[in-house]
Structure 1
């Protein structure tokens, strides 16, 4: 942790807040990746790892509705998961396809750079080896969480939150993404020191929050942070 002397949240504190938020909202059950869903709208909750990354990139600094439209336009322009066509296209064509999502120039550069880097490293437009399950009968062993995070973070445009979302929602591992809502609530709860930002907060909370609570607690804190006017004002 970047804050080794900050002993919060304890496991009991995490359980307590999980239970309080569950009563305030509703129980959260883990949803398996859905190949029919829009990866920009659901934090990358799709089976294809590259699609999950692209969707999460498109969701950066914008609303769900806007980024979902950008992803739909990208699919309509090139075909869903036609990564070769996206990588080979003139940059302006990608920009035009995702323009509705905001920051189109920057995001087009990141998406094409991601695809080109994956092809150069692995020889194909696939990162499905990252999604190999520990119980898989494949001769190739599943990678550990840290190994997956290291590869995801090696690509331009993939920061800790994006990588954590892909790890949690697409690959099905236990990770704790920190967005603005989770950050605000964590400050209010005293789970992180005042100087913590999203990156350092995520590094700290991913260690402190028990693995079995990470999915549900993230979802509940995200929902509560978005809906609770009192918490917004206090933050």
Structure 2
């Protein structure tokens, strides 16, 4: 990748390590996980999270629902979605062994078929229901069409040995193709084909979906695909700017893509997961580093920020 500010050397690897170690010590008992798990955990039916679920479409839609709202509201929204639409668990027998590739996944096909007005009513508690429902339904409809086209092509290839023209199709085994067919036949909307693509290509495929921006796509890459990618949410942007890792005159609404390009290049891969989580934890809990903060008020004076000597607010 390339940075839009090649003259801006910050953050160095040493600066990233320093901030990570300070915040890791400060928030040792925090709510978020700061080290990437060895494998993606099963989906929670209570917590929205940042898309850290086993199926990519589940992670992507959860990330959309978590955007521009509090964790409390996002979690309430996920519980409402689970209660109304339900979940699916599906097993398949392969070579005499039963596996369960889909466990407690929200029934996103039921969400798709329910339409916009129904979804807006269900997710109202999270706010921005019109924007979120439009993005989610577009993701689901577009992905469903992609699944249908891929399944038809796989079946045609079996019959006539016709070549496939999808990105990454040359690397697919017959078992992987059969799994995609099985998921389509079982009404499971799937983005699992992105796993066969290089990270940059998968990112490009995600941002081509209407309603999916760089931050949302980066979360899916980081949490679902478990590839190093520094997702820049509002807390990450604010903390990075105060640390001098971004230009002081950069505005979040217009500068988030540039911020991602710069920080994803500069931050070492092994710290991207941890710093993303720690910036969120700190940005939500430190009274001096919250989005709405004011020097001199009661909470400010009662707080001690461990990064105070490094920040220029």
Shorter-chain TM-score above 0.5: yes
Aligned residue for 1:229, secondary structure, equals coil
Give the structure 2 partner of residue 229 of structure 1: 287
What's the CA shift string for 1:46-88, capped at 9, x where partnerless? 1111111111111111111112221222222222232222112
In the alignment, structure 1 segments of 5+ residues that lack a partner are 133-141
Between structures 1 and 2, the one with greater strand share: 2
1:94 pairs with 115, 119, 142, which one?
Answer: 119
User: 8 Å contact 1:58–1:67 — kept in the other structure?
Assistant: yes
TM-score of the superposition, structure 2-length normalised? Answer: 0.68
Give the structure 2 partner of residue 136 of structure 1: none
Taking structure 1 as reference, are residues 180 and 12 closer, same or farther at Cα in structure 2, changes over 3 Å only?
Answer: same
1:150 partnered with 2:204:
yes
In the alignment, structure 2 segments of 5+ residues that lack a partner are 88-105, 149-183, 294-311
User: 8 Å contact 2:235–2:283 — kept in the other structure?
Assistant: yes
Give the structure 2 partner of residue 129 of structure 1: 193
Which moves more between the two structures, 224-233 or 59-68?
Answer: 224-233
1:28 partnered with 2:86:
no
User: 8 Å contact 2:230–2:273 — kept in the other structure?
Assistant: yes
Q: What is the CA–CA distance in structure 1 between the aligned matches of 2:201 and 2:223, rounded to whole Å?
A: 17
1:42 partnered with 2:100:
no
What's the CA shift string for 1:159-210, capped at 9, x where partnerless? 1111111111111111111112111111111111123332221111001001
Q: What is the CA–CA distance in structure 1 between the aligned matches of 2:140 and 2:46, rounded to whole Å?
A: 16
Q: How does 1:160-199 map to 2 (within 5 A)?
A: 160-196=214-250, 197-199=255-257
Give the structure 2 partner of residue 110 of structure 1: 135
TM-score of the superposition, structure 1-length normalised? Answer: 0.89
1:120 partnered with 2:145:
yes
Q: What is the CA–CA distance in structure 1 between the aligned matches of 2:45 and 2:262, rounded to whole Å?
A: 30
Count of residues in Structure 1 that have an aligned counterpart in Structure 2 = 225
User: 8 Å contact 1:40–1:55 — kept in the other structure?
Assistant: no
Give the structure 2 partner of residue 210 of structure 1: 268
